[in-house]
Amino acid sequence: MTKPELLAPAGTLEKLKWAVAYGADAVYFGTKFGSLRSFAGNLTLAEAAEGLAHLHQHNRKGYVTLNIYPFSEEYDRLAATAKALDDMGVDALIAADLGVLSTLTQLGLKADLHISTQANTVSAQAAKAYGDLGATRVNLARELSLERISSIQSQVAGVIETEVFVHGAVCFSYSGRCAISDYMTGFRANHGECKHPCRWKYTLMEEKRPGEYMPVYEDDRGLYLFHNKDLALYEFIPAMTEAGVKSFKIEGRMKSIHYIASTVAFYRQVIDGQMFSKEEASALLGRIPNRGYSTGFMKGSITSEDYSLERSGSQGTARFVGNVCDHDNQDRSIVEVRNKMQPGDILEVLTPDGILSTLTLPDPLINQHDRVIDVANNSQFVRLDVSLPKYTVLRQLTQF
């Protein structure tokens, strides 16, 4: 059985390199035009070329999102972007719109064509149709159960590859086809401008009782639409691997490097055969900000357990305080401070191989110029008298 691909997100060039360091087989990212994550940072074409070169140097693949639903006058620019990326050696372009797919096919590109989750593919018939139109892979909709995914895979094997989102935020709408942002903010969700109003906090006010606010929920079958938990499907990876799913995808182009490191390290181990109990997995994934975790539709339907009534925001059990960015001429670690660090702090260490350990910050702290600093704050640099790999994460547990 061929080991499936671990596909990681990257909103910036920096995040792309972190995903590679932590073991992603492929990385997907957007450029300044054509991406459904306009606020992710995204890469310039020059950065895309550098990112693809970095990926290929490490024998990894790079996929670029062109998954907006463009207006007619935007197709020339989209085609030019696709050609430029193809000349750089992009491994695949990701599309959702039929017009985009047709345009990319007609360009005769060397890159593969993948179908985005925005296309809402829920059947083998649709997957095969995309294959007939030139696509080589389809991302199956998040609204499918394990049983349906297995059934689709059995029918499309040898025709088109399948890809499944296994971790990250879930849009309350149907595979992301949302109009709430358009109505409430004027920013077009399906044009890459979503302001995520489904993550805002809401209350209900009765017309004749101004100022009296009630939470927007009823009971275990009521209005929980704006309180989706995040997706975490690690326990289903062995079964989907056996079914033949080609790629497991992590959501999060707008997330931090701490998120990238933590999720990629975790799912790298799962795909490689490491078994985690639910308690172990919850503890590890709980270190990054999250809205609680759910298995979504994988069990067949959504229940009240898949929504959180306690909060609509994200919180984690660890505070990301720094990362190893370099070494001095004595191979001592130089740490870029991302949050407040003080002498004597006990920190958890996550290295790119997924191994966890702890260290205690020295007293006093020494910066990269051998000067004593009482407290290290964001954007400063601290030297540690140990040799840790570049990209190592340092974090402080806030809950035990």
Residues 255 and 384 in one domain: no
Tokens 């999720």, residue located: 263
Structure tokens at 386: 């140990």
* Average pLDDT, rounded, for the chain: 88
Span 222-266, pLDDT tens digits: 444 455 788 999 999 999 999 999 999 999 998 999 999 999 999
DSSP per-residue letters across 291-358: S-EE-GGGGSS--GGGB-SS-SS-B-SEEEEEEEEEE-TT-PEEEEESS-B-TT-EEEEE-TTS-EEE
Q: Which residue, of 280, 306, 332, is where some domain finishes?
A: 306
Is 260 within 8 Å of 8 (Cβ atoms)?
Answer: yes
Instruction: Look at residue 253 and tell me if it is in a domain.
Output: yes
| Least confident stretch, 306-315, 342-351, 359-368, 387-396 | 306-315
Q: According to the model, what pLDDT value does residue 165 have?
A: 96
CATH number, domain of 278, equals 3.20.20.70
Within a domain: residue 215? no
Helix (H) or strand (E) holding 367, with range, is strand 365-367
Asked whether the beta carbons of 67 and 35 are under 8 A apart, the reply is yes
CA-to-CA dists, residue 332 to 321, 325, 327, 356, 387, angstroms: 18, 11, 5, 19, 5
Q: How many CB atoms lie within 10 A of CB 74?
A: 15
Model confidence at 180, in pLDDT bands (50, 70, 90)? Answer: low
**Are 376 and 237 in a shared domain?**
no
pLDDT grade for 179, boundaries at 50, 70 and 90: low
Please check whether residues 328 and 281 belong to one and the same domain: no
Is 311 within a domain?
A: no
Same domain, 300 and 255: yes
Query: Tens digit of pLDDT for each residue in 19-63?
Result: 999 999 999 999 988 876 655 578 999 999 999 999 999 999 999
Residue 258: inside a domain, yes or no?
Answer: yes
Task: Assign residue 359 the CATH number of its domain.
Answer: 2.40.30.10
Helix, strand or coil, per DSSP, at residue 112? strand
* Confidence category of residue 219, pLDDT binned at 50, 70, 90: very low
SS3 content of the chain, % helix, strand, coil (to 5): 30, 25, 45
Say whether both 294 and 376 belong to one domain.
no
Q: Looking at the structure, do residues 67 and 117 belong to the same domain, yes or no?
A: yes
If one compares 180 and 355, the residue with the highest pLDDT of the two is 355
Residue 390 lies in domain: 318-397
Whether the CA torsion 321, 323, 324, 325 is positive or negative: it is negative
pLDDT in tens, 115-170: 999 898 999 999 999 999 999 999 999 889 999 999 999 999 999 999 999 999 87
Q: Are residues 285 and 350 in the same domain?
A: no
Using an 8 Å Cβ cutoff, are 63 and 26 in contact? yes
- Confidence (pLDDT) at 131: 97
Q: How confident is the model at residue 400 (pLDDT cuts 50, 70, 90)?
A: very low
Q: What SS3 class is residue 73?
A: helix
Number of domains in the chain: 2
**Over residues 11-19, mean pLDDT:** 97
Torsion of CA 192, 259, 294, 286, to 10 degrees: -150
Query: Tell me, what DSSP letter sits at residue 373?
Result: E
Q: What is the pLDDT of residues 333-385, one digit of tens each?
A: 999 999 999 999 999 999 999 999 999 999 999 999 999 999 999 999 999 99
Per-residue H/E/C for 224-241: CCCCECEEECHHHHHHHH
What is the full DSSP assignment across 162-221?
EEEEEEE---SSGGG---HHHHHHS--GGGTT---GGGS--EEE-TTSTT-EEES--STT
Interatomic CA distance for residues 15 and 21, integer angstroms:
10
Is the preceding peptide bond at 210 cis, omega within 30 degrees of 0? no
What are 265-287's pLDDT values in tens digits? 999 999 999 999 999 999 999 99
Q: Would 279 be classed as within a structural domain? A: yes
Residues 162 and 136 in one domain: yes
Residue 13 has pLDDT above 50, yes or no: yes
Same-domain pairing of 167 and 280:
yes
% the chain with pLDDT above 70: 82
C-alpha dihedral sign at 308, 311, 312, 314:
negative
The answer to whether residues 146 and 254 belong to one domain is yes
Shared domain for 69 and 149, answered yes or no, is yes
pLDDT at 299: 85
Whether 232 and 380 share a structural domain: no
Helix axes 75-88, 98-106, angle to 10 degrees: 50
Residue 282, in any domain of the structure: yes
